[in-house]
């Protein structure tokens, strides 16, 4: 992908930057239903999307919205939806179908505290739902986790690029804070993502060619297992797209693993810790699926301990433990339901770990 950027620096909300990026990524359609903290996406598009360029439609529910995405994506168009946690739960059946039919589309979850109706504050408790499939059947989403307004915009392009490359939905897993906060952003320019109508699209049968059928069912389990194998092969290939960010990992004694908003808070705590004589590195997974397993494993051989910080009761920490496989102790600190840890809180956790490790040594 050849990204070109606007020279102007703008001050924008995360949700609005994402919506503007969607226009610049030349989507043909957006279908969605209002829910805080992401309604600005639908609002911004309703106001700023040019009718000649496609459609912005407020659906009657998230169920309808995701099925509109399914139909439009099935016809080969570049389409998206966005929602927040409860809405994501409603979309899961449709997402399972879209994945089975191997259609590209962009999904956005500006997640909030749960379970239930929960809060409108930020949360990362949809990690399992996002990275393990979520709906029924053996499928995965490509999952990108931004940690700034800039990345809210950039990842629209990355997600669409990957979705179309692998014919699989790609999800931007954001949260209420990233959606609502304002930051400086340089927006990608139109034309960075070429598009064409794919040959598999159901958009009217071409003469003397086989018709295109978008479907997800099979009577014969052998046929269904073969489709599953195809999906699994695709997910194996997808591993090459893994992305992460490292900071100060040379000589690090403790490694923090955190994504999105918590990675930002952790980077402040890391600074405090290193100023106080600790030696702390940070790994921020940018793709949550595929997961940076190899890198985490390698680092686990060098550090004394790992601290995973999440806005949840501990979900990604399970993946970290699986990868680390006992190579070093893995600690966890999390806040739930929309609460966010302070850098001090995390610094305190780091000190506790250092003390424990020192006793052991």
Partner 1 sequence: MINKCEIEDLELVYEKPKTLTDTPMHYCPGCGHGVINKLIMEVIDELKIQDKTVGVAPVGCAVFEYRYMDIDMIEAPHGRASAVATGVKRVNPDKYVFSYQGDGDLAAIGTSETIHTVNRGENILMLFINNAIYGMTGGQMAPTTLIGQKTSTSPFGRSVKNNGFPLNITELISKLDGAFYVTRHSVHKPNSVRKLKKAIQKSFEYQKENKGTCFIEVISNCPAGWGMTPLKSNEWLEENLIPKYPLGDIKVPTKN
- Residues near partner 1, by CB under 8 A: 28-29, 31, 54-55, 57, 59-61, 63-65, 67-75, 77, 79, 93-94, 97, 201-207, 211-217
Q: Which is nearer to partner 1, 94 or 334 (CB)?
A: 94
Q: Which is nearer to partner 1, 77 or 335 (CB)?
A: 77
Q: Could you tell me the end-to-end alpha-carbon distance of the chain, in angstroms, rounded to an integer?
A: 48
Q: Which is nearer to partner 1, 23 or 238 (CB)?
A: 23
Nearest approach in angstroms of CB 68 to partner 1 is 4
Residues 6 or more apart whose CB falls under 8 angstroms from that of 16 comprise 40, 41, 44
Nearest approach in angstroms of CB 139 to partner 1 is 14
Contact (CB, 8 A) for 10 and 184: yes
Q: Which is nearer to partner 1, 133 or 292 (CB)?
A: 133
DSSP designation for 212: P
Residue 254 and residue 300: Cα distance in Å, rounded? 9
Site of tokens 């850098």: 343
Residue 348 and residue 350: Cα distance in Å, rounded? 5
Instruction: Render 44-91 in DSSP notation, one character per residue.
Output: HHHHHS-GGG-EEEE-SSHHHHHHHHHHHHHTT--EEEEE-HHHHHHH
Whether the bond between 115 and the residue before it is cis, its omega within 30 degrees of 0, is: yes
Nearest approach in angstroms of CB 200 to partner 1 is 10
Nearest approach in angstroms of CB 155 to partner 1 is 23
- Helices 85-100 and 62-74: angle between axes, nearest 10 degrees: 30
Q: Which is nearer to partner 1, 135 or 188 (CB)?
A: 135
Q: Which is nearer to partner 1, 222 or 361 (CB)?
A: 222
Nearest approach in angstroms of CB 66 to partner 1 is 8
Contact (CB, 8 A) for 13 and 145: no
Nearest approach in angstroms of CB 196 to partner 1 is 15
Q: Which is nearer to partner 1, 163 or 261 (CB)?
A: 163
- Helices 221-238 and 85-100: angle between axes, nearest 10 degrees: 110
Ramachandran category for residue 59: left, alpha or beta (phi over 0 → left; psi -120 to 50 → alpha):
beta
Residue 19 and residue 40: Cα distance in Å, rounded? 8
Q: Which is nearer to partner 1, 97 or 347 (CB)?
A: 97
Nearest approach in angstroms of CB 220 to partner 1 is 12
Nearest approach in angstroms of CB 67 to partner 1 is 4
């Amino acid at each position: 992908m050849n990204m070109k950027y606007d020279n102007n620096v703008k001050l924008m909300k995360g949700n609005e930057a994402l919506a503007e990026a969607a226009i610049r990524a030349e989507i043909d359609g957006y279908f969605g239903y209002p829910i805080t903290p992401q309604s600005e996406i639908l609002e911004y598009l309703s106001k700023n999307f040019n009718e000649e360029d496609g459609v912005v439609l407020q659906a009657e529910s998230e169920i309808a919205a995701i099925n509109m995405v399914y139909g439009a994506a099935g016809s080969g168009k570049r389409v998206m939806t966005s929602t927040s946690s409860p809405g994501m739960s409603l979309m899961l059946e449709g997402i399972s179908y879209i994945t089975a039919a191997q259609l590209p589309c962009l999904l956005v979850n500006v997640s909030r505290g749960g379970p239930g109706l929960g809060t409108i504050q930020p949360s990362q408790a949809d990690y399992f739902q996002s990275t393990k499939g979520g709906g029924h059947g053996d499928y995965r989403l490509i999952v990108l986790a931004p940690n700034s307004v800039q990345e809210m915009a950039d990842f629209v392009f990355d997600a669409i690029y990957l979705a179309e490359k692998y014919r699989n939905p790609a999800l931007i897993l954001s949260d209420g804070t990233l959606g609502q906060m304002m930051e400086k952003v340089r927006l990608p320019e139109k034309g960075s993502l070429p598009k064409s109508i794919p040959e598999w699209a159901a958009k009217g049968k071409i003469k003397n060619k086989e018709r295109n059928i978008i479907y997800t069912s099979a009577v014969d389990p052998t046929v269904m297992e073969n489709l599953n194998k195809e999906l699994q092969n695709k997910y194996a290939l997808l591993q090459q797209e893994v992305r992460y960010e490292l900071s100060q990992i040379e000589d690090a004694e403790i490694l923090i693993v955190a994504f999105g908003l918590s990675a930002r808070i952790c980077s402040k705590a890391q600074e405090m810790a290193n100023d106080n004589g600790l030696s702390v590195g940070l790994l921020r997974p940018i793709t949550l699926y595929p997961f940076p397993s190899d890198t985490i494993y390698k680092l686990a051989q060098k550090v004394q301990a790992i601290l995973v910080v999440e806005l949840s009761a501990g979900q990604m920490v399970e993946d970290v433990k699986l990868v680390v496989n006992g190579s070093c102790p893995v600690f966890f600190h999390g806040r739930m339901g929309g609460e966010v840890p302070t850098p001090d809180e995390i610094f305190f956790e780091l000190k506790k770990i250092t003390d424990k490790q020192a006793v052991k040594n």
